[in-house]
Amino acid sequence: MTPERPRRADATAATVETPQDAKVAVSRVTEPSALPNPGPAPLYAALDLGTNSCRMLIAQPLGSQFSIIDSFSKSVQLGVGLEASGRLSRASMGRTIQALRICEKKIEKHGVQRMRLVATEACRRARNAKDFIRQVRRETGLALEIIAPEEEARLAVISCAPLVNPSTEQLLVVDIGGGSTELVWIDLSAVAPTDRPRAIMRLHMGFNAQGEGAVARVVDWISVPLGVATLKDQFIDVDDDAARFALMSWFFEENLASFSPYNAENPREGFQIVGTSGTVTTVAASFLNLKRYDRTKVDGLQMTSDQIDLVIREYLSLGPEGRRTDPRIGRDRHALIMSGSAILQALMRIWPTDRLSVADRGLREGLLYAQMSADGVLEDGPYT
């Protein structure tokens, strides 16, 4: 099946005042115990239902940041079979609804009133997505909202704002999902170095948002309908492990042809790539040789191209069986790590940098920041 043409947007702009790093304590591997509610501040929930995973955070505003009260993460494989049939299967919907029941119980337990519960690429593409959304509402009481690729990209960007270096003039934020990959190129050269992370936060209002003074200009963005699950499905009939990896990497690069910075001459100095996804954090954990995932060691880590290539070569040498039993990769990730690594390798091959900033944050954190900002409950007030 040939993927549909990637969606994209025109150049735009924005400015801001924003939070510092969020006090997030979320693991992909384990679900932490709920913390006691520390006070009267309102609780917020953010749920991200993707092609592969269902993940939720419940958090409370804390100064200009937020503190995680509870979380949930489970591989539900909602998109299994979607590439071939164009529909969500009965089995995948059943798994997902089971996970959503747990989320609903957590929301009820904590008395959460403010929430955004979103679904992404699998539900955007499935012909029976509306029926599934109605079934979720009927069986769990949760109202899922299918968001557009632009909003998904925007939320990933603002979640990564605290990781932007003051010296960064050109920023590429990459979010490798299960069903799609979002890339956003931002020009920060007109923004004072100390204001650059904060300048990104106003993008929660939209890529066309305007503000007073210097702005963070979105040069271009793209949503490629290839993520770790959908890219893997494209080459499922290729038996040779190394050949399949090479084909996936080059095929992904071909799908970037309409992204305007792809063929641009961009300076190496002042350029930063921030990567957010399970792929990126798994590669980082493997590089650090973590047998048990530790977010505090991974989030914000800087990796060189050589270090990333070393990990990917090791994955290839392990083969499918070796990857399946490698504790650094994990049981939920081993089948998808090579398609994600193919995307990551393509990105590092294309653009003029030898470093990647690893972000263990993404859509859920962006949803929390956007909700709290709109309500004006963060110390810095609403970012408007």
* CA–CA dist 161, 197 (Å, integer): 5
pLDDT of the residue at 269:
75
pLDDT of the residue at 17:
30
φ, ψ dihedrals at 201, nearest 5°: -65, -30
pLDDT of the residue at 321:
94
Render pLDDT for 127-158 as a digit per residue (tens, 0 to 9). 999 999 999 999 999 999 999 999 999 999 98
List, as own/partner pairs, every contact residues 243-252 make where C-beta atoms lie below 8 angstroms and the sequence separation is at least 24, other chains included: 244/338, 245/316, 245/338, 245/341, 245/342, 246/342, 248/338, 248/339, 248/342, 248/343, 249/342, 249/343, 249/345, 249/346, 249/349, 250/346, 251/226, 252/181, 252/224, 252/226, 252/342, 252/343, 252/346
Asked if residue 259 lies in contact with residue 336, where contact means CB atoms within 8 angstroms, the answer is: no
pLDDT of the residue at 61:
92
SS3 category, 70: strand
* CA–CA dist 199, 136 (Å, integer): 37
* CA–CA dist 89, 350 (Å, integer): 36
Asked if residue 22 lies in contact with residue 45, where contact means CB atoms within 8 angstroms, the answer is: no
Q: Is the dihedral of CA 120, 124, 129, 134 positive or negative?
A: positive
pLDDT of the residue at 354:
84
The one-character DSSP state at 113 is: -
pLDDT of the residue at 270:
86
Residues of the chain with pLDDT under 70: 1-39, 204, 208-214, 263-268, 352, 380-384
Supply the DSSP string of 270-335, one letter for each residue.
TEEEEEESHHHHHHHHHHTT-SS--HHHHTT-EEEHHHHHHHHHHHHHHHHHHHHH-TTT-TTTTT
Q: Which of 142, 148, 134 is nearest to 115 (CA)?
A: 142
pLDDT of the residue at 265:
65
pLDDT of the residue at 196:
84
* CA–CA dist 23, 361 (Å, integer): 11
* CA–CA dist 271, 172 (Å, integer): 8
Render pLDDT for 202-237 as a digit per residue (tens, 0 to 9). 776 777 665 555 678 899 999 999 999 999 989 989
- What are the counts of helices (DSSP H) followed by strands (DSSP E) for the chain? 13, 12
Pairing of strands 271-276, 355-359: parallel
